[in-house]
Amino acid sequence: MSITVFTARAVRTMNPSQPTATAVAVRDDRIVDVGSLDTLRPWLDAHPHRIDDRFADHVLLPGFVDPHLHPSMAAVLLPMHFITAMEWQLPWQTAPAIRGAEAYRARLAEIESSLNDPSEPLITWGYHHIWHGPMDRALLNAISTSRPVIAWHRSFHELYMNDAALAWLGIAEADAGKHPQVDIARGRFFETGLKYAVARMNRYLLAPDRFRAGLQRLREVVAYGGHTTIGDMATGIFDLDMEWSALVDVLERDDTPFRVHMVPHVGMLHSAAGDDDAAVEKVRHLVDRNTHRLRFGHHVKLFTDGAFFSELMQLGPPGYIDGHHGEWMMVPDRFEALARLYWRAGYKIHVHCTGDLGVDLALDALERLQIDQPRPDHRFTIEHFGLSTPEQARRIATLGAQVSANVYYLYELAEAYWRHSIGYERASQMSRLGALARHGVPLALHSDFTMAPALPLNSAWIAANRINEAGDVMAPEERLTLDQALRAITIDAAYMLGMENDIGSIRAGKKADFTVLAADPYEVPVADLKDIPILGTVFEGKPFPRPA
């Protein structure tokens, strides 16, 4: 097999033993050597080769890794109408920022009037109570009394329906009103109540043509961000077999420039199986489905508290300014029972935690699991890590856990939550990454797409600057260094998925995955990190341009 040598103005390897280079030799899908044309000479003298200088004026980094996003959730949301408080840059459009109750309702009415089919449901995504004002079924009835209108919350964890939508889905008010996480008077379905609503919407949301079109858009989004590996951190969130079939059809193609590490949503699998032993057996055999790009490993996903964007995270004192309380996505006893089940089976456990009480629940369980059955390299991962305490950062280190954080919370919500939700101190310290780094906790950055844009350089920019949407620096002591932030979207993100031996840095033996940048992130001001143009990727040795 011939060797291809990619030359570049600079190669930032994220390998501390050899941090920079100007050439990478690739054979098939693997790197054979890294250095310069001079240091690669023994390989080139011994084997057929060609020099590919298309990146001679550009910079190569390891292929970006997002260890936590949701392809199936994105496939459901991306065909919807976006009405969001922040501008969203997508490969096919830029959705403008819409703020204020009046502007939100005007945009909703504008979309409704543009629909030609009177029976077509109007489903929007991006509503947020702080940015867009109160929401209920009466407001949506004012948009239309005949068309089903659904406002899906920015968090994805809740939605609102008008009367026509309730009728369209055959939801009886008396039945829905019995659910503890449904406010039928307002048409609000949240957390497990969302599951109740979605079960009735699936015939529309998961219709094969619609779902596959959404996955095609997700495919563009991932390539647009410069990723070569993503983690599906809740496979089976809707319907495992349906999702898997669609993922294989849309993503298992030679022109897909990334791979997906699949992590099952075991709560959904256990609910479907109705028996814990049967569910564990099903999880054990998921690896039998593996393809080249779509692969299950030895990881599972669990949940503690509710959605960050919905202000449903569980908080210790002093709680929320308005006195409301958060929600549990899994009741604590059930969470610990499932954690114990998979811990004993040797799985790496990832736990959705958004508030400090959610983090406490996860860490208390981890401590008891370590006493019951010690595991030295357990990779127990706190996912999201929205609100925490300084003491929890130290405890995470003591217990040997790691953190995959959504630092975008800080950008979009720090100002809003300071003024309307939890006060300045805690709002400014969202995503407490500097403390984790000081305690030596392995950490990564993720998008939880669509909870944040799937743009790793943007996440790294927030982590290194801690600038919110209002332009203020929040808790500068919690910033990461530039190098830490870039590691958090490359080699340390790979570590979260247990893939650090194959991806995440540029060294001999690893997959030939690179992200191509127009400028060197180590040479531009850190304030400009998010603005560095991404030109494309190399996935397993094959170059791919960035989607237009």
Read off the CATH number of the domain in which 383 is found.
3.20.20.140
Handedness of CA 19, 22, 27, 33 (dihedral sign): negative
Domain membership of residue 447 as a residue range: 297-480
Distance CA 176, CA 198 (A): 13
Is residue 489 included in any domain, yes or no? no
Helices 276-284 and 332-344, axial angle in degrees (round to 10)? 50
Local structure of residue 548 (DSSP, 8 states): -
What pLDDT does residue 486 have? 98
Q: In percent, how much of the chain has pLDDT > 70?
A: 100
- Report how far residue 35's alpha carbon sits from residue 43's, in angstroms, rounded to the nearest whole number: 12
pLDDT digits over 187-200, tens only? 999 988 998 999 99
Task: Give residue for tokens 């999702």.
Answer: 243
Q: What angle do CA 441, 521, 27 make, to 5 degrees?
A: 85
Domain presence at residue 312: yes
User: Hey, CA dihedral for 220, 225, 229, 231, is it positive or negative?
Assistant: negative
Q: How many helices (H) and strands (E) does the chain have?
A: 21, 25
Query: Strand, helix or coil at 320?
Result: coil
- In whole angstroms, give the CA distance from residue 14 to residue 507: 9
Domains held by the chain: number? 1
Does residue 2 form part of some domain? no
pLDDT in tens, 253-299: 999 999 999 999 999 999 888 889 999 999 999 999 999 999 999 99
pLDDT, residue 191, reads 87
| E runs forming strands in 56-153 | 59-62, 64-69, 81-82, 88-90, 93-95, 122-127, 149-153
- What digits encode the pLDDT tens for the residues 421-468? 999 999 999 999 999 999 999 999 999 999 999 999 999 999 999 999
Separation of first and last alpha carbons in the chain = 33
Rounded distance between C-alpha atoms, residue 36 and residue 509, angstroms: 17
Is 490 within 8 Å of 19 (Cβ atoms)?
no
Is 35 a domain residue? no
Residue recorded with tokens 């009046």: 102
**Residue the block writes with tokens 């939508």:** 165
Between these two residues, 175 and 350, which has the higher pLDDT value?
350
Residue 124 has pLDDT above 90, yes or no: yes
Q: Is beta strand 158-161 parallel, antiparallel or unpaired with respect to 188-190?
A: antiparallel
pLDDT tens, position by position, 214-236: 999 999 999 999 999 999 999 99
Instruction: Identify the three-state secondary structure at position 482.
Output: helix
Percentage of the chain modeled with pLDDT above 90? 97
Partnered with residue 447 across adjacent β-strands are none
Most distant pair of Cα atoms in the chain: their distance: 78
Q: Write phi, then psi, for 56 (nearest 5 degrees).
A: -60, -30
- Can you give the pLDDT at residue 354? 98
The answer to whether 336 touches 385, Cβ cutoff 8 Å, is no
**Strand stretches in 163-291, DSSP E:** 182-183, 188-190, 227-235, 259-264
398 in any annotated domain: yes
pLDDT at residue 272, as a whole number? 84
| Mean pLDDT for the stretch of residues 236-260 | 96
Q: How far apart are CA 367 and CA 359, in angstroms?
A: 12
pLDDT at residue 292, rounded to an integer: 98
Closest CA to 103 of 77, 85, 124, 79: 85
Burial of 332: CB neighbours in 10 Å, binned 0-12, 13-18, 19+: middle
Contact 343, 312 (CB under 8 A): no
The string of DSSP codes covering 365-401 is HHHHHHHHS--TT---EEEE--S--HHHHHHHHHTT-
Average pLDDT, whole number, for the chain? 97
- Domain presence at residue 303: yes
Question: Hey, which residues does 358 pair with through a beta bridge?
Answer: none
What six digits make up the tokens of 81?
A: 């109408």
Of residues 28, 27, 19, 16, the one with CA closest to residue 59: 19
Q: Which two tokens stand for residue 464?
A: 């290194």
Residue 446 lies in a domain: yes
Q: Is residue 233 part of a domain?
A: no
Whether omega before 376 lies within 30 degrees of 0, making that bond cis, reads: no
User: What is the structure's pLDDT at 273?
Assistant: 81
3-state secondary structure of 495: helix
- Is the pTM value of this prediction over 0.85? yes
In this prediction, residue 1 has a pLDDT band, given cuts at 50, 70 and 90, of confident
